[in-house]
Amino acid sequence: MNILLCFNNKFAALARTLIISLMCHHEQLHFYIGYMDLDKRHRDGLQGLVENYSPRNPWDSGIYAKKSPQRTIKFIEFDVARIPDQPMAPQWSKDTWTRCFIWDQIEADRLLYLDADIIVNGNIEPFYYDDLHGLPIKAAPDTVSKSSMKSIAALGLGLNSNPELPYFNAGVILFDLAAMRRQGITVQNMQAFAQRCPTLPFNDQDFLNLYFKDQYKPADPYIYNCFTVWPSRYSAVADPFYRDRYLPRWERVTFCQSAYKTAGEAAGTTDETKQKGCTFAKDRAVILHYSQPLKPNSGKYKYGFADEYWYYASMDPKCPPAKYIRLQQRIRRYTSTFFRRMRNSALIALTELLLNQLDFPYLPADEP
């Protein structure tokens, strides 16, 4: 399998964990690392990780990454001049555009792009080798927040545009490069298209949705791009497109812990339905996406699937002991939940202040 990762120094530690998770479940892997700002010490560390290291699972569960000569890694320095002079939203980095315009430098028929803040928790070969029926890409529909719906709709995207092929998330994209070449898709005409685009709230993700509008095969978002954050802002997942196609029939409950209506009646978010949703996600999800600003290697992380992340991160010899970070995460999560139920914002603020005084730093994987 050909895997494309594009990231900078800031995401190097997360990328190491992603690579380890891939190696735990697959023997034959060819990594392509696109970068604009990635120090040599990071590149050397990643090359050693892929080619020479067999990270053993410290939990001794039988899952571990075996050393394999069938794994290779190639670094491709991306020229910033290839990014069109297009107005960009200030909260995004230019690095996010790398995945759009680097694929012509890779000699392969298929290429799977993954964001660095992802872990692979199972076999992704059924996704990778799926028949796309001549379509250029495969991606999972995005569970966009209500606040984002207006900006997406203004671009002519979203569920109202095409209920069968709604707005997709660009964190996991399977490119059928052979089909793209047959259809005459080139980096040059993609750059020209981007030049004509208005300001895009979500930068390259909006661009890819515009360029491949109605030309992608949808994947199950609860298996191959499962978001690990569950606040109510993902209530869009309750839309009939997602609900009827991907959610189980029991009460049509979403694992996003957000209330929605089914046949005119509120489903609610009782502890029982939340537990069902959590079990449903953990049983099915193969690709876990930590898309929120706080990442699971931060002591301030208080969302779901932290244990799954540390399951793989603990195999990295450059990863510090997870117990201190996990302790900080659990204290923050449980005290915040308890005090919020008491509606006591002062106690929440006091707890946060005390936790910030605790020195539980995460040492990035690149530090000696």
The answer on pLDDT for 3 being more than 80 is: yes
Q: What is the pLDDT of residue 334?
A: 62
**CB 306 within 8 Å of CB 333:** no
pLDDT tier, 199 (very low <50, low <70, confident <90, very high otherwise): confident
Is it the case that residue 17 has pLDDT exceeding 70?
A: yes
Say how far apart CA 15 and CA 218 lie, in whole Å. 25
Q: pLDDT (tens digit, 9 = 90+) per residue, 63-83?
A: 556 667 789 999 999 988 888
Question: Residue 246 has what pLDDT?
Answer: 46
Of 210 and 165, the one with more pLDDT: 210
Q: Which residue has the higher pLDDT, 321 or 305?
A: 305
- Model confidence at 292, pLDDT cuts 50, 70, 90, reads confident
The architecture of the domain spanning 2-226 is Alpha-Beta Complex (3.90)
Cα separation, 178 vs 200, whole angstroms? 28
pLDDT given at position 27 = 86
pTM: 0.78
Provide the mean pLDDT of the chain.
74
Q: Is the pLDDT of residue 20 over 60?
A: yes
134-168 pLDDT, tens digit per residue, is: 999 999 888 665 556 777 777 777 655 566 677 88
Residues 258-272: tens digit of each pLDDT: 322 222 223 334 445
Q: Beta partners for 35?
A: 77
- Rounded-to-integer distance, Cα 166 and Cα 216, Å: 10
Answer whether residue 86 shows pLDDT above 90: no
Cα 61 versus chain centre, distance: 25
List b or e across 44-78, with b for residues whose CB sees 16 or more CB atoms inside 10 angstroms.
Answer: ebbbebbeebebebeeeeeebbeeeeebebeeeeb
Least confident of 56-70, 101-115, 154-168, 195-209: 56-70
| Residue predicted with more confidence, 337 or 178 | 178
Residue 272: alpha-carbon gap to chain centroid:
27
Is the model's pLDDT at 338 over the cut of 70? no
Residue 328 falls in which region: left (phi positive, over 0), alpha (psi -120 to 50) or beta: alpha
pLDDT in tens, 305-319: 888 888 888 888 777
How is the chain split into domains, by residue range?
2-226
Query: Given this model, what pLDDT does residue 46 score?
Result: 93
- Position 238 scores a pLDDT of 39
pLDDT of residue 249: 35
348, two tokens: 């929440």
At residue 330, does pLDDT exceed 70? no
The per-residue pLDDT for 142 is: 81
